[in-house]
């Protein structure tokens, strides 16, 4: 780590040492070092696949088999992945601050596997499916294998992945809890996200309005970079354990 980076890390550590309430928002970048593809970076899913064909309610209505095929493929990639040092450091952060909340846009479940407990999965979880007829009927599919047909609920309606697609609202209760935590935090860590997908992309400005210090952890610049108080440039699997070591 060079002088500038170690200075930024020092400032982030000082901010965290004085913090009572800390919130972390994570995106696909935190799982990149576990081998889970991101969406927008090099090798990102949206470089190869069109979101309009696979991650919208209209795409599912048009061709549910195609959408399921893509989700089974992603599940197979995620099943082979293990939490990396970034996930593990964040799980240990839970015991380090009087209040620590983890908000993730990721659907891979790796934070829970790493041991995080106070977590809000804002975009759902790829291992669950829900009934298109009765959305409150949710099924754990971690042990399911892909079959030739689109999975169905016992009621006969199609099942769909329990994730949030473009054009769909996030769970309002989850968004309210997330916004409350962000408004009340002293430090907001924004880790491995391109910070372009709303409503999550609006949370850092909410934190700043509440006088929180915003720390971005990312390998590349994002639209948030100019607004962040501290920028830690590098892989989260390296940066977060280093922050933890210095705390």
Report the catalytic residues.
123
Only segment of 57-65, 151-159, 173-181, 187-195 that touches ligand BJW (CB under 6 A): 187-195
Is the peptide bond between 122 and the residue preceding it cis, with omega within 30 degrees of 0?
A: no
Cα gap 247→242, rounded to integer Å: 9
Structure tokens at 92: 């240990």
Does residue 52 belong to the site contacting ligand BJW (CB under 6 A)? no
Q: In the complex, what is the shortest distance from the CB of residue 70 to ligand BJW, in angstroms, rounded to a whole number? A: 8
Instruction: Please say which residue, 204 or 235, places its beta carbon nearer to ligand BJW.
Output: 235
Does residue 189 belong to the site contacting ligand BJW (CB under 6 A)? no
Q: Is 38 exposed, middle or buried (0-12, 13-18, 19+ CB in 10 A)?
A: buried
Cα gap 184→188, rounded to integer Å: 10
Instruction: Please say which residue, 21 or 214, places its beta carbon nearer to ligand BJW.
Output: 214
CB distance 83 to 113 below 8 Å: yes
Residues 213, 222, 230, 240: which binds ligand BJW (CB under 6 A)? 222
Q: Is 192 exposed, middle or buried (0-12, 13-18, 19+ CB in 10 A)?
A: buried
Does residue 218 belong to the site contacting ligand BJW (CB under 6 A)? yes
Structure tokens at 242: 């280093």
Does residue 85 belong to the site contacting ligand BJW (CB under 6 A)? no
Which parts of 225-244 interact with ligand BJW (CB under 6 A)?
Answer: 235-236
Q: Which residues bind ligand BJW (CB under 6 A)?
A: 27-29, 32-33, 38-41, 44, 55, 105, 107, 123, 163-169, 192-194, 196-199, 217-220, 222, 235-236
């Amino acid at each position: 780590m060079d002088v500038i980076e170690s200075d930024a890390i020092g400032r982030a550590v000082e901010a965290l040492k004085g913090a009572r309430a800390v919130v972390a928002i994570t995106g696909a970048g935190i799982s990149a070092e576990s081998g889970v593809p991101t969406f927008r970076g090099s090798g990102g899913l949206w470089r190869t696949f069109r979101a309009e064909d696979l991650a919208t309610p209209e795409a599912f209505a048009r061709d549910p088999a195609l959408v399921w095929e893509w989700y089974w493929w992603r599940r197979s990639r995620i099943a082979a992945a293990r939490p990396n040092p970034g996930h593990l450091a964040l799980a240990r952060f839970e015991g380090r601050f009087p209040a620590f909340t983890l908000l993730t846009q990721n659907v891979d479940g790796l934070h829970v596997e790493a041991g995080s407990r106070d977590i809000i999965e804002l975009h759902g979880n790829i291992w669950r499916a829900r009934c298109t007829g009765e959305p409150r009927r949710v099924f754990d599919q971690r042990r399911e294998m892909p079959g030739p047909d689109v999975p169905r609920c016992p009621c006969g309606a199609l099942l769909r992945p329990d994730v949030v697609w473009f054009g769909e609202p996030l769970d309002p209760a989850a968004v309210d809890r997330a916004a409350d935590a962000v408004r009340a935090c002293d430090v907001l860590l924004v880790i491995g996200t391109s910070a372009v997908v709303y409503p999550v992309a609006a949370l850092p400005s909410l934190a700043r309005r509440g006088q929180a210090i915003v720390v971005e952890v990312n390998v590349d610049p994002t639209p948030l970079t100019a607004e962040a108080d501290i920028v830690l440039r590098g892989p989260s699997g390296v940066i977060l354990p280093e922050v933890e070591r210095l705390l």
